[in-house]
Amino acid sequence: MKIAIAGAGAMGGRFGTMLAQTDNPVTFIDLWADHVQAINQHGLLVHTDNGDQRVHVPAYLPQNVPGTFDLIVLFTKAMGIADMLTALKPVITPQTHILELGNGIGNIETISRFVPKEQIIAGVTVWSAALNGPGEITMKGDGSVTLEALGSNEAPFFKQVVQVLTDAGLKPTASHDVLAAIWRKAALNSVLNTYCTILDCNIGEFGQLPDHDAMIDGVLGEFAAIAANQHVHFDAAGAKQLIIAQFPDDKNGLHYPSMHQDMAKGRKTEIDFLNGYIAKVGARENIPTPVNATLTALIHGQEKLKTLHSREAVTA
């Protein structure tokens, strides 16, 4: 199976590294030219629980990708999915399947503009990773993948994908209700990504806060109200258990979530596809979502301040 990782940052780098240990050829695709160059020149430097390694996988900018692929694993930020798939149109064939594992709600609808649902595999993952710089990532802790073929889980290609992910140690589980898993992961990110970014802490430090229960419940209660409105099964208690399970150091306690990493580097966050999505639907459907609306406003405020400070530093 020829596999492309579209969005070869922290999580894409982790999945590409693990998939490269199988017999399937892997290609990295990323928009960051320095990152692509570093991978091609020196390999991807990967820091793990068991030491460091360099993974040699070819990397390309989207407009330079050669050939075609059986599977494209999409880790592009939610707001960049359309641009990435537009650039990759020449390498997407009627046989190419797209596995969406990024954060946020609404990504499937975007992908459906480019390929029919029979070519889409929707999924979520609780693996974590950090992008340290061009050609360098850290991947520690444990994780899993939940996925569902929008065509049929009985399709031979889907079963092959599950086997390939299993061979790579990615711990996949086939689901018949991946939408529930997507909302559960979005809820996890809307708690851990957002609060850790606002409070400038890692996941374990957030878990040590004496009032973290109330902070979690405020987000999840509004998620439950919007999910019910959208006819999506959402288990708030199960989502909370998943969040709390990330607190120990040997899970993801030492990890700074992707939104925290984006904010630190002055990149636009995915807040509008997480807490912002809940706030947007709440406003549209006249359902109160004050917690998620406030958290969204705070993240956007941080983004604007980051931009302002960057401009001041340039002109100083």
H-only helix segments in the chain: 10-19, 33-42, 81-87, 107-111, 156-167, 178-199, 203-207, 212-229, 236-244, 258-264, 275-285, 290-315
Residue at token pair 């999915």:
81
For the chain, count helices (H), then strands (E). Answer: 12, 12
199 contacts: CB under 8 Å, gap ≥ 6: 205, 206, 209
Which of the following is catalytic: 77, 140, 185, 251?
185
Strand order in the sheet with 59-60: 59-60, 26-29, 3-6, 71-74, 97-100, 120-125, 145-149, 172-174
- The answer to whether the CB of 216 falls within 8 A of the CB of 187 is no
**Full DSSP string of 105-118:** SSHHHHHTTTS-GG
Structure tokens at 210: 């004496």
282 phi and psi angles, rounded to 5 deg: -60, -45
The token pair that represents 46 in the structure block: 């990967």
d(CA 142, CA 199): 24
DSSP state of 153: T
Q: If we measure between CA atoms, which residue out of 213, 263, 267 comes closest to residue 240?
A: 213
Q: Is 268 annotated as catalytic?
A: no
Q: Residues with catalytic annotation?
A: 185
